[in-house]
Structure 1
Amino acid sequence: MTSPRPDHRSAPGAGRCPATALYGPHLDGDAMPGLYEELRLRHGPVAPVTVAPGIDAWLVLGHHELLRLTREEQDFSHDPRRWTLLREGRVPADSPIMPMVGWRPALLFADGQQHRRMRAAVSDALTRINGHELRRTVRFTAERLITSFAERGEADLVPHFARKLPMEVIMRLLGLDERTGQQLVQAIAGTVVANADSANASRRMGAILGQLIEDKRREPGNDVTSALLAHPARLTDEEVLHNLVVMFVAGNQTTVNWIATTLRILLTDAAFRSSLTGGHLTVDDALDLVLWRFPPTQNFPARYATRDLHFGGQHIRAGDMLILGLAAANADPSVLPPDGRPVTGNRSHLAFGAGPHACPAQDPARLIARTAVDTIRHRLPDMELAVEEHELAWVKSPWTKGLAALPVRFADPQLPAPADPGGDPGVVPHPAPAYPRPPSPSASDGRPAQHPVPYPAHPQGERR
């Protein structure tokens, strides 16, 4: 970015307060909270950082400042084509930040009327999900996964449960079969790593979703994809494609982290677990505690200043990139209880963002996470950690807050009774969220398509 200028007290390279690297193997889930507090003490609510080699940005740490950043589109745009470094050709094509901030025709990168048009379609498609059917889907999927490892008496709940469940449920919501969904996961992962195969992975991703859209235009189903295609906003096929990827990527990994971290709290916090068992607290309280203390997404790119302005004690230049410090804003002392008590019964956290771009999938994500956690704690009531708590490792990523592993053991699984082939097993096999039948496929509105660009998943990094 072009700012801060060298004469400013927080200017990178000025010798006083150099920008702090927000990337590298030293930054994991254990190190990040301390880094946020150090930055807050040195710079205040907005701090200079680098998000990739040679890429400067501002990290917004303050709760009040983050609310302003997310609410005032006239000052802070979502469109990366405003980014000074990108406009001046100073961002390498293979920069690891590009998969996350490269422009696409999706609601994540739009402002104003264009954003409202796409947001309406996505929100309406999500609102039409049948909550009762979704709960049954999640419960069935959770019980099937638990049954698959129950005989062993041990499991790693990250790969065996938390990582599989949201992916399977979201694939069903989008109208993908399991095999195609796995191919999509692999293609998205290959796109993000930014290596020699990324372009091929991006093409595979586009081909999979393009075929899904073609199939659903020809034969609509009871799924989110069909609902998007039928919406009065008349999204183009490419807009549907990129908004599907936003929903898949954002919905999958954040829910994985949310489930795994909530289970960690229930396994390691005896007082909280006792209050939950005694009915004084609920699974929703545990979920909210995670959103306050360990939000699944720590930092989220990005906004771009539309003009020069003073913000959070810093002088921001038009075209500067600003990163949403969700975890840091949630830890802002100005909004936390002064006595250090856990925050429960309060959802003013910023884990889902805020303003017109707040996550539109909060309700289904919570239902998925709540049902997943509730199901496994009832099916494995004697579940306990198989390692010491201090041995648990977080994924090394400045963007997400997720466990690398959660090994558990148990002795007395309470599995559901086997289904009677001739009767109702009590859990619907492969239930699908119910939608009203979409109208017949309609023609595209003729707007020109945009060239696809590699799409982001939150980088998972490596295990410590």
Structure 2
Amino acid sequence: MSTPHPSAGPAVGCPVTGAPGTAALYGPGLDGDTMPALYEELRGTHGPVAPVSIAPGIDAWLVLGHRELLRLTREEQDFSHDPRRWSLLREGRVPADSPILPMVGWRPALLFADGQQHRRMRSAVSDALAGINGHELRRSVRATAEALIAGFAAHGEADLVAAYARTLPMRVIAGLLGLDDRTGRELVNAVAGLVSATGGAGDASRRMGAILKGLIEERRRARGDDIVSALLHHPARLTDEEVLHNLVVMFVAGNQTTVNWIATALRILLCDPALRSSLSGGHLGVDDALDLVLWRFPPTQNFPARYATRDMGFGGQDIRAGDMLILGLAAANADPEVLPADGTPVAGNRSHLAFGAGPHICPAQDPARLITRTAVDTIRHRLPDLELAVMEDELEWINSPWSKGLGTLPVRFTSPQLPQGTVPPRTAEAPAPAWAHRHAVQPQAGPH
């Protein structure tokens, strides 16, 4: 089992505690405002690796140190991706209805594989993503964004999470998968239930699997011009089951991460006058602002998981074979050992760990950046006098051990600048556009 060191004490002031010596990463006392403080308390008490619980009775280690997280992601011989090595699972100590099981349970997907098996599946996923036509994707994101803005522009107010940040990636990813709008919404609702780590996560996982399975069967019968077809017909020869579970990984990681990135970037622009002024004055580019968001408020706070392949000392803790280790992406980005003395990341610096590191670094970061950049840039120009409609400390957060996401972002504005001829989204169900994969032009997001 994942057993914290006997001498480890509880985090100072931690709002919720699980087993003795652990701090809980779940519960109503934790949100986007309190989690950063908890990470620093854990760092001060335990060092770069801290004992935590991620669900009732489920203990793990949270890797807080930047250097330690790099080692965790790069050394597969010591830290495996395969949850079948997890002691708690092997010993039958993880309840079948545990809310975290849909996120950490084994699947035949690149996220849960090591070595050659991982490389085989990653080649198919990377090639499918590389086939996205960047110019067409940008055009379609902008058109969708302007249509969404037109849908609420007359009201002078909106919730930018529900009406924009959550809706826009859904339509884009649904198009990349070749889904119609209704099915895309159903899939996004299932994903939201999965990452929430609540009692409904198991049902959400089943609903998501059923939708994707039907889509795979349809593409086997008739090949399309979309990511699903690209995976099915790749030289890596993925099975239908492998395609299904790699789509799950891509969709869960891609959709919710992009939603959080858009919403957080908009929140920072609304709440940080200096940053907004620098952006408006041309002293800071949109990509620089997005990287600042990735440093300070990464869309995924904590990411599951690695499993120790042997007993070892790591980050000042005694790790046992089969222990689970969680990637503390937000905490590692805030590690004082890698930040400048004033704690502010350098503009343009992309050495953050928001997308992970090592062989498993996120393969979808370029299209995610293109979608987010276009979404933020479009709303800045179309709603130039946008302002927050509540006090910043009144914002609501999604409670999850994995994600730091806004639940709402209420805003108001008076002078929408919509292009002539923009029409709101139709209420009728219409197929979302699918983008050509052949002779594609790649999104230009810069080096990583």
- TM-score, normalising length from structure 1? 0.87
Could you tell me which residue of structure 1 aligns to residue 276 of structure 2? 273
State yes or no: 1:380 paired with 2:373: no
Deviates more, 1:191-200 or 1:218-227: 191-200
Could you tell me which residue of structure 2 aligns to residue 250 of structure 1? 253
Q: Deviations over 1:291-322 (max 9, x none)?
A: 00000000111100000111001110000000
Quickly say closer, same or farther: Cα 1:297–1:44, change in 2 above 3 A.
same
Deviates more, 1:395-404 or 1:220-229: 395-404
Once the two structures are TM-superposed, the CA of residue 350 in structure 1 deviates from its matched residue by 0.3
Could you tell me which residue of structure 2 aligns to residue 139 of structure 1? 142
| Identity over aligned pairs, percent | 77
Could you tell me which residue of structure 1 aligns to residue 103 of structure 2? 100
Could you tell me which residue of structure 1 aligns to residue 361 of structure 2? 358
**Structure 1 CA distance for aligned equivalents of residues 318 and 194 of structure 2:** 35
**Structure 1 CA distance for aligned equivalents of residues 330 and 395 of structure 2:** 20
Contact 2:48 2:64 in 1 (8 A): yes
Could you tell me which residue of structure 1 aligns to residue 3 of structure 2? 3
Could you tell me which residue of structure 1 aligns to residue 66 of structure 2? 63
Contact 2:97 2:199 in 1 (8 A): no
Contact 2:264 2:297 in 1 (8 A): yes
Contact 1:3 1:11 in 2 (8 A): no
Return the match for 1:301 from 298, 301, 304: 304
**Structure 2 CA distance for aligned equivalents of residues 232 and 383 of structure 1:** 48
The amino acid that maps onto 1:286 is: A
Could you tell me which residue of structure 2 aligns to residue 444 of structure 1? none
Deviates more, 1:389-398 or 1:158-167: 389-398
Once the two structures are TM-superposed, the CA of residue 19 in structure 1 deviates from its matched residue by 1.4
Could you tell me which residue of structure 1 aligns to residue 233 of structure 2? 230
The amino acid that maps onto 1:434 is: A
Once the two structures are TM-superposed, the CA of residue 205 in structure 1 deviates from its matched residue by 2.9
Could you tell me which residue of structure 2 aligns to residue 446 of structure 1? none
Could you tell me which residue of structure 2 aligns to residue 423 of structure 1? none
Other structure's SS at 1:276 match? helix
Superposed, 1:294-443 pairs within 5 Å as 294-418=297-421, 431-436=433-438
Once the two structures are TM-superposed, the CA of residue 281 in structure 1 deviates from its matched residue by 0.3
Q: How many residues align?
A: 425
Contact 1:172 1:432 in 2 (8 A): yes
State yes or no: 1:83 paired with 2:86: yes
Could you tell me which residue of structure 2 aligns to residue 445 of structure 1? none
- RMSD (Å) for aligned C-alpha atoms: 2.2
Deviates more, 1:188-197 or 1:60-69: 188-197
- TM-score, normalising length from structure 2? 0.90
Contact 1:137 1:432 in 2 (8 A): no
Contact 2:225 2:434 in 1 (8 A): yes
**Structure 2 CA distance for aligned equivalents of residues 41 and 419 of structure 1:** 53
Could you tell me which residue of structure 2 aligns to residue 38 of structure 1? 41
**Structure 1 CA distance for aligned equivalents of residues 391 and 140 of structure 2:** 33
Could you tell me which residue of structure 1 aligns to residue 220 of structure 2? 217
The amino acid that maps onto 2:370 is: L
**Structure 2 CA distance for aligned equivalents of residues 350 and 18 of structure 1:** 27
**Structure 2 CA distance for aligned equivalents of residues 402 and 114 of structure 1:** 32
The amino acid that maps onto 2:236 is: A
Other structure's SS at 2:102 match? helix
**Structure 1 CA distance for aligned equivalents of residues 52 and 2 of structure 2:** 13
Deviates more, 1:46-55 or 1:75-84: 46-55
Once the two structures are TM-superposed, the CA of residue 51 in structure 1 deviates from its matched residue by 1.2
Contact 2:63 2:328 in 1 (8 A): yes
The amino acid that maps onto 1:222 is: D
**Structure 2 CA distance for aligned equivalents of residues 199 and 95 of structure 1:** 8
Bigger radius of gyration among the two: 1
Runs (5+) with no aligned partner, structure 1: 421-428, 438-464
Q: Deviations over 1:189-213 (max 9, x none)?
A: 5566788876665444333212211
Q: Deviations over 1:77-122 (max 9, x none)?
A: 0100000010011111111221111111111111111111000000
Other structure's SS at 1:335 match? coil
Contact 1:261 1:402 in 2 (8 A): yes
**Structure 1 CA distance for aligned equivalents of residues 242 and 320 of structure 2:** 31
Other structure's SS at 1:300 match? strand
Superposed, 1:111-260 pairs within 5 Å as 111-189=114-192, 201-260=204-263
Once the two structures are TM-superposed, the CA of residue 187 in structure 1 deviates from its matched residue by 3.9
Contact 2:180 2:432 in 1 (8 A): no
Could you tell me which residue of structure 2 aligns to residue 424 of structure 1? none
Return the match for 1:288 from 280, 283, 291: 291
Once the two structures are TM-superposed, the CA of residue 217 in structure 1 deviates from its matched residue by 1.9
Could you tell me which residue of structure 2 aligns to residue 451 of structure 1? none
Once the two structures are TM-superposed, the CA of residue 431 in structure 1 deviates from its matched residue by 4.7
**Structure 2 CA distance for aligned equivalents of residues 264 and 195 of structure 1:** 26
